[in-house]
Chain A
Amino acid sequence: MKKYILPALKLTLVLVVLCAGIYPLFIAAVGRLAPGQGGGEKVVVNGKVVGYANIGQKFTDDKYFWSRPSAAGYNAANSAGSNKGPSNPDYLKDVQAHIDTFLAHNPGVDKKDIPAELVTYSGSGLDPNLSPAAAQIQVARVAAARHISPDKLKALVDRYTEGPLLGLFGPSKVNVLRLNVALDGMAGGKTAGQ
């Protein structure tokens, strides 16, 4: 063992410098050129930061499009999922409660049209997206709360729908924060937050 311990100690030191010192510093230097300068891309409205583009926010007001349920309460300093198993009876009650709440706030919506993502918790607790269907189904509520025509809102959701990667891979989605920022812009008679 004596024959091995000295090279082991020295090699550890050298590899620490290389892999933990130089490597992340180099990536940080390159990252300065990325959107958000490596600190995360922010969404700014009228010079004020209202959030991070990739981090979901809590929206509970009827006049905003809601985000998905979050086991973390959208606390971005402590991401969390529910970790509930698919057959857990307490969990299934929880889902039922989400369905009831959604129906109470969205009269006229048929239960069979509610996308399950609106009544189940995301993986990170910070999911920034909804499927286009999950946004469209909230249009009537938001339109009523804001006294805007539903058709205008439908068009807005369409405009903020991002298709699959290269048009080929993966699901379509809507960024809820960007959509709601645009919504506020509409109410003020101008578009913002693009």
Chain B
Amino acid sequence: MSQEIVGVAVTFLLTLLLAYPLGRYIAKVFKGDRTWLDFMAPLEKFIFRICGIDATKKMTWKEFLKAMLTINLVWFVYAFFMFLFQAHLPLNPDGNPNMTPDLSFNTAISFMVNCNLQDYSGETGVTYLTQLFVITFLQFVSAATGIACLIGVFNAMKEKTTTNLGNFWAILVKTTTRLLLPISIIIAVLLAFNGAPTSYAGKDTITTLQGDTVQVSRGPAAGMIAIKHLGTNGGGWFGQNSAHPLENPNYFTNMLEMVAQVLIPLAMIFALGFYIRKMKFAWVIFGVMTVGMLALVIPTMITEIHGNPLIAKMGVSQFNGATEGKEVRFGAAASGYWSIVTTIISTGSVNSMHDSSMALSGLMQLLGMLVNAFYGGCGVGILNYYIYIIITVFIAGLMVGRTPEFLGHKVEAREVKIAALVTLLSAFLIKGGTALACYYFVHHPNADWATKPSAWLNNPGYHGFSEMLYQYTSSNANNGSAFAGLNYNNPFWNITTGFAMILGRFLPIIGPVAIAGILAGKKYVPESAGTLRVDSLTFGVTTLAVIIIITALSYFPPLALGPIAEYLSMH
């Protein structure tokens, strides 16, 4: 077991070691300083020319958001129709069918918003064409969208007073060419040489050693597996995601995929420090987020290493921890660690089945998604954290009786209202959605639907409730992991979680960009002895307290009904 724990610790340290220089590099790229990837410049110029984009044009926060929303709308329409007609399009060697309209709606939104909730199974539900030309494509550009919006906020924070957030198109393209593509290529090649498939050949049929005939699904998966982690997307090529032995063949690839998904979220914290020249502020953010991460990871790893108490009662040996839903090559420790990094960061890829995690681990996974800002997804993690900062500045201001200020700008009613709305939205979507599902499950169990509500759940009791709660939490957080026993491929779940995903994506992006834009347009107030210092330990601790209080107040009741009740019933 000690080698398993060392493996996890080294994985995290390695991520940190890579993220710091990467953060400096990201800051350089978007400041326009020289970097070693400048040979990409002609390609970028070529792209801007043929697309009719003036990359030097400044954008206000409203223009910036309009550009972002317009291109996302284009992606949604494109993805929806591709899934709807995929059976008749090329690159479908396995002869997979079209998606139903409700599944197509859900899946198009899911990949556009960087959520990657999958109500289909990769082997049977999509074709190589849609895996590559819709899903892989969206995994790049949805990650780039989140990063671009954060860079816009960085631009607003950098200047004393400005209306310029930068050019959305230019940032989007540079994120793809300077950051996502080069690193994805390195990861994909490493995956390929460790056994992840890359060829376009369809299913193979073999006769096993014992004489059974078995079909083996394959496909050009390595490239997608790379960006699904690097871009904190998470959708699997195969149904069982990174538990599948072709998607995550050994302990090395498991470490690689864990590093890949945490890399950019960590790097963006340091990029913030380098970009606005407030390294101490970045370290405070890193500190708060890391404390939050450890508070979730440690109990989860301990619980999974101890195993299931009810299986212990049966008298078998759990020397290698909980094993249900886990793969031998990863073990309980690395599976526990993965289940938390994938939920605090909005990846949502899995290397073990979260539905079979211990009750306490399920609670920690849910908390990771409910906070959604301990590192968080590509770009959006810090945007979510930004909202917590604004709320903290407001509360701290009230406590000391001064007008709240953030980086030299007065935070006034309008900004606080936006921040409060974004915070309340999550609680509304998650609890509202779960309540609606419970209502149909209890009062209309035999409704004449494609799937009767009584057939939704794979587990009875508290755990069944957790399955529904998890689904809306994951959708709202744009996470994409699931308690996958839930029977979700039907109109009720496809449509309701579709709306939860789209609202849970764009309002928490529009909010911080708008606040940052409004603040940057205000008169600069020079720092004085009375200024609230956001780069202090006190402010960091206060922010953490605000996060804990908001989360506890918003979500204690549903958590008590689900994982907490299950935990108590088992012990």
Q: Which residues of A contact B (CB under 8 A)?
A: 1, 4-12, 14-16, 18-21, 23-24, 26-28, 30-41, 45, 49-61, 64, 68, 74-89, 91-92, 95-96, 99, 111-117, 119-131, 133-134, 164-165, 168-171, 173, 177, 180-181, 184
In the assembled complex, the CB of A28 is this many whole angstroms from the nearest CB of chain B, namely 5
Most A CB contacts (10 A, CB to CB) among B244, B250, B251, B325 go to B325
The 8 Å CB contact of A169, one of B6, B185, B220, B227, is B6
Tell whether A76 pairs with B217 under 8 Å between CB atoms, given A15-B137, A55-B245.
yes
User: Is the pair B195, A88 in contact by a Cβ cutoff of 8 Å?
Assistant: no
Name B329's contact: one of A64, A92, A170 (CB within 8 Å): A170
Within 8 A of A (CB), among B196-227: 197-201, 203-204, 206-210, 212, 214-218, 220, 222-224, 227
Q: A89 CA to B310 CA in the complex, in Å? A: 10
Could you say which of A12, A35, A40, A59 contacts B71, with CB atoms under 8 Å apart?
A12
Within 8 A of A (CB), among B450-481: 458-464, 466
B residues near A127, Cβ cutoff 8 Å: 245, 327-329
- Contact between chains at B214 and A115 (CB < 8 Å): no
| Distance A129 CA – B329 CA, assembled complex (angstroms) | 7
A38 to B201 CA separation, bound complex (whole angstroms): 9
Most buried by A among B201, B210, B570: B210
Interface centre among A20, A130, A165 (most CB of B within 10 A): A20
Q: Are B222 and A122 in touch, CB under 8 angstroms? A: no
Interface residues of B in 163-221 (CB under 8 A from A): 169, 172-173, 176, 181, 184-185, 188-189, 192-193, 195, 197-201, 203-204, 206-210, 212, 214-218, 220
Q: Which of A4, A54, A124, A165 contacts B252 (CB 8 A)?
A: A165
**Contact at B185–A123, with CB atoms within 8 Å?**
no
CB-defined contacts of A11 to chain B, threshold 8 Å: 47, 51, 53, 71, 169, 172-173
From B247, which residue of chain A is reached at the shortest CB distance?
Answer: A124
Stretch at the interface among B355-363, B383-391, B404-412: B355-363
| Chain B positions 357 through 396: 1 when the CB is less than 8 Å from some CB of chain A, otherwise 0 | 1110000000000000000000000000000000000000
Q: Inside 8 A of A112's CB, which chain B residues have their CB?
A: 315-317
Query: With an 8 A cutoff between CB atoms, is B267 at the interface?
Result: no
User: How many B residues are at the interface, by size bracket?
Assistant: 35 or more
Known: A7-B51, A58-B208, A171-B330. 7 other contacts (CB 8 A): A7-B169, A33-B193, A86-B566, A88-B463, A122-B326, A169-B6, A170-B330
B463 touches A129 (CB 8 A): no
The residue on B at minimum CB distance from A85 is B463
Q: Bound state CA distance, A184 and B209, in angstroms?
A: 9
Q: Are B245 and A56 in touch, CB under 8 angstroms? A: yes
Chain B residues near A170: list those with CB within 8 A: 3-4, 7, 251, 254, 329-331, 334
